[in-house]
Amino acid sequence: MGFIARLLVVAALLPACSARLGSDNADPDAGASSSDAATRPHPDAASSSDATVGNQRPALFLAADNYLEQREQLRGYGPFIVYAWCTDPALSNPQQYDRELQTLAAIDDPDVVEIIMFSSYLTLQTKLAQPGQADYLRSIGVTGFGFNSEGFMTPANQMNSLGDADPSTNAVARFSAIAENAGFTVLWGPIRVTADAVPDPALNGMFGAGLDGVGLQEQQFVESACVDDRVAAVEATAARYRGIAAARGTTAHIDVQVMPSRCLNGDTYVAAHCGTAITADYDHCAQFAAAIENDVDSIGIWASSPDDRAGLVPLVRRLRGE
């Protein structure tokens, strides 16, 4: 079962909004021990075909605060996966974790599933060790975790382990096993070159430990490349990950990330270097997304700056063919 399929199966099993949300300002600590917290069977207990590739358009993968901020303008453009940003640097603010969970608790739309993004397996382990925390997360709609491994966010020893074939030392495998054992799905978000540099034995260990898929950070590359070149790169990476996952009897969710500002830069580049006709803003990324639509499960949009936030909805509309 694919990552999206597993998330959607889990989301369908969660209680209705009125049962799972106390208020838009729900207190995570108060809710952690609630007897109303949803229990979640392991997603492999249900059977489902892949929910995205070949069956429906790719989901849009957005930061939860981006989604909530522009929720009304985004209606009808789903499905969505939204994530809380809880990397180690973000969590240096002691209030950040509770704020991110409150944002997730405020989102109850039927075409949205929710995950939390961490940058260390130790942080995930610490959070899930808190009494009642896993049940509380399920009760507000959280169905999975992401492991964002980048040098300025992730401890050096974990970064250095990414190529390890031994799942007992590989940070992604350890993160995946912790999440899997608690009944959550897992998506890995490395920098783009790392996704291709990690050797097959390491990936085999990751998928064996419970990894469900990978996010490919294409924003920098698609900004200065012709569509066909980046399509070929994505297809090659997707084929390798899916092949290794299939050998383990599972599937690999493939996400591709872009940015509004870099998509605009890409419009300028391809008009000058690729002979591509650009008739509207974000045409380049729209053409890229259309070309990989049957090869990926979701399109991520990173929008942290004011300019990128302003471009989020216009880019979504172009990606959806408007």
In a domain, 32, yes or no: no
d(CA 147, CA 120): 7
Residue predicted with more confidence, 2 or 98:
98
Mean pLDDT of 102-131: 97
Contact between residue 14 and residue 20 where contact means Cβ atoms under 8 Å apart: yes
Taking residues 180-198, report their average pLDDT: 97
How much is the pLDDT for 196? 97
Res 28 pLDDT > 70:
no
* CATH for 263: 3.20.20.70
Is residue 29 assigned to a domain? no
* Confidence at 51, pLDDT banded by 50, 70, 90: very low
| Percent of the chain residues past pLDDT 90, beyond the cut | 82
Quick one: tokens of 121? 């397996």
Beta strands in the chain (DSSP E): 59-63, 80-85, 112-118, 142-149, 185-190, 213-217, 253-258, 298-301
The token pair that represents 7 in the structure block: 């998330």
Query: Is residue 126 predicted with pLDDT exceeding 90?
Result: yes
pLDDT of the residue at 4: 53
**pLDDT, tens digit, 9 for 90 and up, residues 230-245:** 999 999 999 999 999 9
Q: Which two tokens stand for residue 28?
A: 């995570």
Number of domains within the chain:
1
- Residue 61 to residue 6: CA distance in whole angstroms: 15
Instruction: Note the pLDDT of residue 3.
Output: 54
In a domain, 27, yes or no: no
Confidence of residue 102 (pLDDT cuts 50, 70, 90): very high
* 242-272 confidence digits (pLDDT tens): 999 999 999 999 999 999 999 999 999 999 9
- Residue 31 lies inside a defined structural domain of this protein: no
Inter-residue contact 61 to 83 (CB < 8 Å): yes
Q: Whose CA is closest to 311, among 253, 255, 249, 266?
A: 266
* Average pLDDT value for residue range 178-194: 97
pLDDT of residue 56: 79
Within-domain flag for 290: yes
Q: Is residue 40's pLDDT more than 70?
A: no
User: What is the model's pTM?
Assistant: 0.85
- Would you call 18 exposed, middle or buried from its count of C-beta atoms within 10 A (0-12, 13-18, 19+)? exposed
DSSP state of 77: S
What does the pLDDT average to over 205-234? 97
Cβ(319)–Cβ(303) under 8 Å? no
Which residue range(s) make up the domain with 78? Answer: 3-18+42-319
Q: Is 95 helix (H, G, I), strand (E, B) or coil?
A: coil
Q: Inform me whether the pLDDT recorded for 5 exceeds 90.
A: no
| Residue 67 placed within a domain | yes
Residue that has been written with the tokens 């000058």 in this structure: 272
SS3 30: helix
Whether residue 148 is contained in a domain is answered as yes
134 domain residue, yes or no: yes
Q: Summarize pLDDT for 284-321 with one digit per residue, the tens.
A: 999 999 999 999 999 999 999 999 999 999 999 999 99
